[in-house]
Amino acid sequence: MTDAGAKLDRDSALTFPIALSDGRMVASIDEAANLFHALSETQRSSNHWRIAIRMLDNAIREPSYLKTATLSLQTALAMDGRLDHLNEAPAAVTE
């Protein structure tokens, strides 16, 4: 949990690291910002990315939003099929 008086900067860690399907890990605000910067204009204008970007901006100004920002980033990545675990084969069901 983030300290009420703490300030976030580009080196601050996200609430949890997010594994991408290309093998990279997004674990800090700087890595998330770089990911946002690399988005195409079309991606950036989609609702899920607009929300993720806005929530990270809110978290930088108000650290108590960091968990919501991290979850929004994870959701945007999932919606674009970019999360590592989304590409795994389903687990076999045993009875």
Confidence of residue 1 (pLDDT cuts 50, 70, 90): very low
pLDDT of residue 95: 59
**Crossing angle for the helix pair 47-61 and 29-38, to the nearest 10 degrees:** 150
Q: What is the pLDDT of residues 44-66, one digit of tens each?
A: 999 999 999 999 999 999 999 99
- For the cut 60, the answer to whether the pLDDT of residue 16 exceeds it is yes
Q: Is the pTM of this model over 0.85?
A: no
Sign of CA dihedral 39, 45, 49, 54: positive
